[in-house]
Amino acid sequence: MEDEKQILFAGFGGQGVLSMGQFLAYAAMNTGKHVSWVPSYGAEMRGGTANCLVTISSEEIYSPLTEHPLVAVVLNRPSLDKFETKVKPDGCLVINTSMVDRDPKRTDLMVLKIPVNELAEEMGNTRGSNMILLGAYLEKTSVVKVEDALQHFEVIYRGKKEKVIKRNREAFLAGVEWAKKNW
Amino acid sequence: MNKVLMKGNEALAEGAILAGCRGFFGYPITPSSEIAEYMARKLPKIGGIFVQAESELAAINMVYGGASTGTRVMTASSGPGLSLKQEGISFISEAELPCLIVNISRGGPGLGGIQPSQGDYFQATRGGGHGDYHTMVLAPASTQEMMDFAILGYELADRYRIPVVIMAEGTLGNLMEPVIVRDEVTNFVEKPWAISGCQGRKPNIVNTLHLTAEELEGRNRHLFSKYEDIQMNEKRAETFMVEDADIVVVAFGLLARVIKRSVIDARKHGVKAGLIRPMTLWPFPDEHIKAVTDTCKVILSMEISMGQMIQDIRLAAEGRVPVEFYGRIGFLPNPEELTREILAVAERKGL
Amino acid sequence: MATVFKRPESLTDAKFHYCPGCTHGIIHRLVAECLDEMNIREKAVGICPVGCSVLAYEYFNCDMLEAAHGRAPAIATAIKRLKPDCFLFTYQGDGDLASIGMGEIVHASARGEKISVFFINNTLYGMTGGQMAPTTLLGQVATTCPYGRKVENEGYPVKMAELLAGNEGSAYISRVAVNSPANVVKAKKAIKKAFETQAKGLGFSMVEILSTCPTNWGLNPVDAMKWMEDNMIPYYPLGEFKVKEGK
């Protein structure tokens, strides 16, 4: 339990929030960690707000839930408004500045800002914004090492079309490079 | 050891297939539909049968028919659907047909909501339909147990010729965790009672009608002697830090697992907490409860309902220690909230 | 000495419990004769209903299952799907099939389940003492329509054969009666045709069989036959409503 990390991903449905959480869970599992992924539980399958919580630990995970995640990755303004106060003291906020028009109020948190929609548009890969963000986040924090995540890309996307895997890998790497330069 | 990241609903469905399930009959309802969808994809590829029934009534009666052929069959549903299925479950119980019935639970009464719940505890553990009977009820707490209990469920169902209910909160159905995929089950019991044409033997009859009082009483006594065996042999519970616990929480399902963390956190605050997690809700593991009444000062039932299992806990505790209750409706409480409640009960009791 | 008449092998030795003059006995025999003649007794699974024929599992000498009220088609569906070599038949009354089991029968037909349904229409609930059925005729008295069935209160009697014939999955639908030797012969032909439809895998088959209930109609057996002819057959015309030919 000592190294247990709980990371919340939140945004609009369709921003790839659930799948980036799943990617992280897969990647962490493949490095031998205990993981869990639990989605927000709502009637709306499309279009509404979505969030998921990923727990990563080197020991058995008792609670896949928490009031206070260590990290909140927010892809839109409503998610920041909803979760800023929930993050653990001295935790971390990752903010998609393309869709969030205010700064966080809390001062105890590590704040990482990234304009992922713009970056995705520059790449001509608008659906890749979630992977850009994840690449940047992992480069900065090594919750899962970037090389481990890359090593398991094919396994994680098993069954998906090669083109889809390639576009996601490109987005992920673009995020990694952006973090190296900006964070 | 190959671990696969799976959702609880998928793990359960895959577990059923590994156990030899070759017939799924269901009607879609949130939050259980993923099981039907998984079966609709998989079963036709392995020579199994998937039928989306016109109603829950039809679905459970297809299970009745399917199970009567000796095939391992199942259905999955949620609250309102389970209510409709009760007629069939009563028939299946009396006809002593093995099958698996899954309740991915949502809150009621009425249409209620689609959030996780444990409010079907009474329905599941008291039989649920008309007449004197029980089903066995398993309560998994992890994605791995969703798979393992599907396999165990069929084994128990066949051994005792009884419908087995797996009850899991909706959240557990959606929870993704690594699962060790088990081996395919290869040893099956003979079912000489099955109906599939009487070639080479006398006709078999599957029947639940017993018009004379003597015959009906005999049938009920037969069922209840079987239930006695089940109560003798099949009670299952996990205990966690109960040896020195002053306050023992009793909870089942995913909620119980969340409470493990609360138990540890409560101990960090100096409160000696422990947990008993019934894995079988019927038969209820009353000996596990009774065993801690000599050492603990209070039992705390935590449920996602207004308090149902607490009645079984009180029966098991036989008044030796007070039994307190904490329940929420419509969602799985976070561990922090549950820790606060454990600490509050400890303070009230001067622990 | 040559045997010219005997109990079909597909019937047990049990004595029928049916009232004097009731035509269930004739229909049981016709079904059993067809099972014998087609040599499918050992592959047959019969599903009996809730109603007068609830004890049919004691009379048919093949694998039998006793269903909940109205659910026989759902049960038969699962057994046939899992054991496609079996011959599935349900034996259902009008309350069972046309009232509480309306959902199950319509959808079994719509799915084209390869089962044979024998629907015994005697215009009321016999076993429970003569209550109104969906098939009770207008003006007919039953214990729950003691002043006679009225359109404004109970609506119109349901014509199941016509209704199910409209389903694409139905391969053979007919209505017969057992009120005369000639009609009994026709009824047997229809029952056999239903089984043959199943054997050929053409789809769903149902034979609606107009039957008498002297006890609850308050008539002697002979008058009951006449009542059927005068009142039932005009509203429930006999004949084949759907015949899907095999390839």
Q: A34, A38, A57, A155: which to substitute to probe chain B, counting the most B Cβ within 10 Å? A: A38
- How close is the nearest chain B Cα to the Cα of C170, in Å? 17
- Of the listed ranges A33-47, A151-165, B235-249, the one predicted with least confidence: A33-47
What are the distances in angstroms from CA B300 to CA B97, B264, B276? 37, 16, 10
pLDDT at A153: 85
- The Cα B78–Cα C83 span in angstroms is 29
Q: What are phi and psi of A53, to 5 degrees?
A: -120, 125
- How close is the nearest chain B Cα to the Cα of A56, in Å? 11
Q: Is B330 on the interface with A (CB under 8 A)?
A: no
What are the distances in angstroms from CA A123 to CA A17, A20, A170, B216? 20, 19, 9, 75
* Dihedral, CA of residue C134, residue C136, residue C138 and residue C139, to nearest 10: -140
Q: Which letter does DSSP use for residue B292 in this model? A: H
Query: For B46-94, how does the pLDDT look when each residue is reduced to its tens digit (9 = 90+)?
Result: 999 999 999 999 999 999 999 999 999 999 999 999 999 999 999 999 9
* Touching subunits for chain A (3+ Cβ pairs under 8 A): B
- The Cα C209–Cα B300 span in angstroms is 63
Domain carrying residue A34: 5-182
C39, with CB counted inside 10 A (0-12, 13-18, 19+), is exposed
Asked if A75 and A17 touch (Cβ cutoff 8 Å), the reply is yes
Alpha-carbon Rg of chain A, whole angstroms? Answer: 15
Q: Does the interface predicted TM-score (ipTM) exceed 0.90? A: yes
- The Cα B77–Cα B60 span in angstroms is 10
Q: End-to-end distance of chain A based on CA atoms, in angstroms? A: 29
pLDDT at A49: 77
pLDDT at C246: 73
Q: Could you give all domains of chain C from N- to C-terminal order, each with its CATH number?
A: 24-131+158-243 (3.40.50.970)
| Token pair listed for C70 | 């109205």
Task: Using an 8 Å CB-CB cutoff, list chain A residues near B254.
Answer: 64
Physical contact, A and B (3 or more Cβ pairs within 8 A): yes
- How close is the nearest chain B Cα to the Cα of A121, in Å? 31
Query: For C109-157, how does the pLDDT look when each residue is reduced to its tens digit (9 = 90+)?
Result: 999 999 999 999 999 999 999 999 999 999 999 999 999 999 999 999 9
Say if strands A5-12 and A49-57 run parallel, antiparallel, or are unpaired: antiparallel
pLDDT exceeds cutoff 60 at B167: yes
Asked if B24 and B39 touch (Cβ cutoff 8 Å), the reply is yes
Q: Is A65 on the interface with B (CB under 8 A)?
A: yes
Q: What is the CATH number of the domain that holds A136?
A: 3.40.920.10
Boundaries of every domain in chain B: 3-233, 237-348
**Of the candidates A1, A26, A63, which has its C-beta nearest B257's C-beta?**
A63
Q: At what angle do helices A116-123 and A129-141 cross, to 10 degrees?
A: 120
H or E element, residue B337: helix B335-348
Asked if C156 and C138 touch (Cβ cutoff 8 Å), the reply is yes
Beta partners for C47?
C65, C90
B3-233 and B237-348 agree in CATH topology: yes
Interface of B with C (CB under 8 A): 22-23, 25, 49, 51, 53-55, 57-59, 61-66, 68-69, 71, 73, 87-88, 91, 195-200, 203-209
Compute the residue count for chain A. 183
Q: Residue B4 CB: number of other CB atoms within 10 A? A: 16
pLDDT exceeds cutoff 70 at A22: yes
Long-range contacts of C8-16 (CB under 8 A, 24+ apart): C8/C32, C8/C33, C8/C35, C8/C36, C9/C36, C9/C41, C9/C61, C10/C35, C10/C36, C10/C41, C10/C44, C10/C60, C10/C61, C10/C62, C11/C59, C11/C60, C11/C61, C12/C58, C12/C59, C12/C60, C12/C61, C14/C58, C14/C59, C16/C59
Q: What is the mean pLDDT of residues B4-18?
A: 97
What are the distances in angstroms from CA A24 to CA A38, A127, A143, A148, B278? 12, 17, 9, 11, 32
**Of the candidates A26, A38, A62, which has its C-beta nearest B171's C-beta?**
A38
- The Cα B125–Cα B303 span in angstroms is 15
CA quadruple B127, B55, A45, A170: dihedral sign: positive
- The Cα B21–Cα B151 span in angstroms is 9
User: Strand A92-96's sheet: what is its strand order?
Assistant: A110-114, A92-96, A71-74, A5-12, A49-57, A34-39, B176-180, B3-7
Q: What is the mean pLDDT of chain B?
A: 97
pLDDT at A116: 96
pLDDT exceeds cutoff 70 at B198: yes
Query: For B97-134, how does the pLDDT look when each residue is reduced to its tens digit (9 = 90+)?
Result: 999 999 999 999 999 998 999 999 999 999 999 999 99
What are the distances in angstroms from CA C147 to CA B191, C27, C121, C142? 53, 31, 21, 8
Nearest to B114 by CA among B150, B74, B147, B81: B81
Q: Which letter does DSSP use for residue A136 in this model? A: H
- The Cα A30–Cα A24 span in angstroms is 10
Query: For B217-228, how does the pLDDT look when each residue is reduced to its tens digit (9 = 90+)?
Result: 999 999 999 999
Query: For C60-81, how does the pLDDT look when each residue is reduced to its tens digit (9 = 90+)?
Result: 999 999 999 999 999 999 999 9
pLDDT exceeds cutoff 60 at C35: yes
Query: For A136-167, how does the pLDDT look when each residue is reduced to its tens digit (9 = 90+)?
Result: 999 999 999 999 999 888 888 888 888 999 99
Q: At what angle do helices B79-95 and B213-233 cross, to 10 degrees?
A: 110
Nearest to C45 by CA among C91, C89, C109: C89
Sequence-ordered alpha helix ranges (H) in B161-242? 170-174, 213-233
The count of C-alpha atoms lying within 13 angstroms of the C-alpha of B102, restricted to the half-sphere facing its C-beta, is: 40
**Of the candidates B23, B71, B197, which has its C-beta nearest C45's C-beta?**
B197
pLDDT at A47: 53
A114, with CB counted inside 10 A (0-12, 13-18, 19+), is buried
Q: Does domain B3-233 have CATH number 1.25.40.10?
A: no
**Of the candidates A26, A61, A68, which has its C-beta nearest B336's C-beta?**
A68
pLDDT at B1: 58
* Identity of the residue numbered C109: S
pLDDT at A43: 42
Nearest to C115 by CA among C100, C105, C125: C105
Residue with tokens 């003006």: C139
pLDDT exceeds cutoff 80 at A131: yes
SS3 (DSSP) at A45: coil
Nearest to C78 by CA among C113, C34, C119: C113
Beta partners for C145?
C142
| pLDDT band, very low/low/confident/very high, at A48 (cuts 50, 70, 90) | low
User: Strand B237-240's sheet: what is its strand order?
Assistant: B237-240, B273-278, B247-250, B298-303, B323-327
- The Cα B66–Cα C78 span in angstroms is 5
- How close is the nearest chain C Cα to the Cα of B248, in Å? 45
Q: What are phi and psi of C42, to 5 degrees?
A: -75, -10
Q: Does domain B237-348 have CATH number 3.10.310.30?
A: no
Asked if C49 and C123 touch (Cβ cutoff 8 Å), the reply is no
Q: Residue C198 CB: number of other CB atoms within 10 A? A: 25
How many domains is chain A built from? Answer: 1
Q: What is the mean pLDDT of residues C157-184?
A: 98
Q: Is C98 on the interface with B (CB under 8 A)?
A: no
pLDDT at A1: 59
| pLDDT band, very low/low/confident/very high, at A176 (cuts 50, 70, 90) | very high
Q: Is B31 on the interface with A (CB under 8 A)?
A: yes
- The Cα B105–Cα B107 span in angstroms is 7
Task: Using an 8 Å CB-CB cutoff, list chain B residues near C55.
Answer: 209
